[in-house]
């Protein structure tokens, strides 16, 4: 069946923009394009409207460029957090797709973005931060930070090993070169037994006062010989 030539009056993704001449199936033009006002038949009278359609197209494209440029500045500063379920080993159940990101942008920031403008080479299957390319316009691209985090609580760490002392009390195990010290606290030896330690000399005892009737010993004068030396001299003479 031959196709029908029409002039588009609106931008239709995948088909064309305003003032474009396109060929479509007669039923598609008759049942959809003409009733919705998206196209008009290609006639001599309608060709006069092409210039006005081109001007409308230029205004629409300029408005879209400015809108997407402002949107790209805002999206580049955002962090889209997506929560997923994971197993005990940290692996995700499923993956994050462009549709998931578009839904979260709408839910978190009230930003309506076509998922086809979110470019993912592969779905996201790991936790952490990812940078996703956004193709907002043929001349406007930006990146969005997507942070994927788990809703599953992390397992608790194992309890620390403990040891019992001599008194039965528990305490943390001390690591001394990989061996456990079971001898308990070291007792300090007396000062007399320490090697190289000096024992302080005892203070001299104070002399008792002389009783009544007894002669007090005279203090030794300088130059006097001790009594022991006198006795030794008498023995030598004998």
- Per-residue pLDDT tens digits for 89-131: 778 888 999 999 999 999 999 999 999 999 998 999 999 999 9
- Per-residue pLDDT tens digits for 161-202: 555 555 555 555 555 555 545 555 555 555 444 444 454 445
Average pLDDT, the chain: 77
Number of H helices, E strands in the chain: 6, 9
- Per-residue pLDDT tens digits for 14-72: 899 999 999 999 999 999 999 999 999 988 888 888 888 999 999 999 999 999 999 99
The structural domains of the chain, with segments of one domain joined by +, span 4-48, 72-150
pLDDT average, residue stretch 212-219 = 52
> Which pLDDT score is estimated for 233?
47
Report the share of the chain in percent with pLDDT over 70: 63
CA distance 142 to 74: 10
- CATH, range 4-48: 3.40.5.10
pTM higher than the cut 0.75: no
Question: 3.30.43.10, 1.20.1250.20, 3.10.430.100, 3.40.50.150: which CATH number matches 72-150?
Answer: 3.10.430.100
């Amino acid at each position: 069946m031959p196709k029908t030539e029409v002039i588009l009056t609106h931008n239709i993704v995948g088909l064309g923009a305003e003032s474009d001449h396109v060929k479509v199936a007669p039923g598609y033009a008759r049942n959809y394009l003409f009733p919705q006002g998206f196209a008009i038949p290609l006639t001599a009278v309608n060709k006069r409207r092409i210039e006005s359609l081109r001007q409308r197209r230029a205004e629409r494209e300029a408005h879209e460029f400015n809108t997407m440029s402002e949107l790209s500045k805002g999206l580049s500063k955002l962090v889209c957090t997506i929560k997923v379920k994971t197993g005990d080993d940290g692996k995700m159940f499923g993956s994050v797709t462009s549709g998931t990101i578009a839904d979260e942008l709408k839910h978190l920031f009230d930003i309506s973005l076509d998922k086809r403008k979110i470019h993912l080479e592969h779905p996201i299957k790991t936790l952490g931060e990812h940078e996703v390319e956004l193709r907002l316009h043929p001349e406007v691209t930006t990146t969005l930070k997507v942070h994927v985090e788990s809703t599953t609580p992390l397992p608790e760490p194992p309890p620390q090993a403990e040891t019992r002392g001599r008194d039965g009390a528990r305490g943390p195990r001390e690591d001394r070169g990989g061996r456990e010290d079971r001898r308990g606290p070291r007792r300090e030896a007396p000062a007399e037994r320490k090697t190289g330690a000096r024992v302080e000399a005892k203070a001299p005892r104070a002399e008792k006062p002389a009783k009544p009737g007894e002669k007090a010993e005279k203090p030794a004068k300088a130059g006097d010989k001790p009594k022991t030396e006198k006795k030794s001299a008498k023995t030598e003479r004998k």
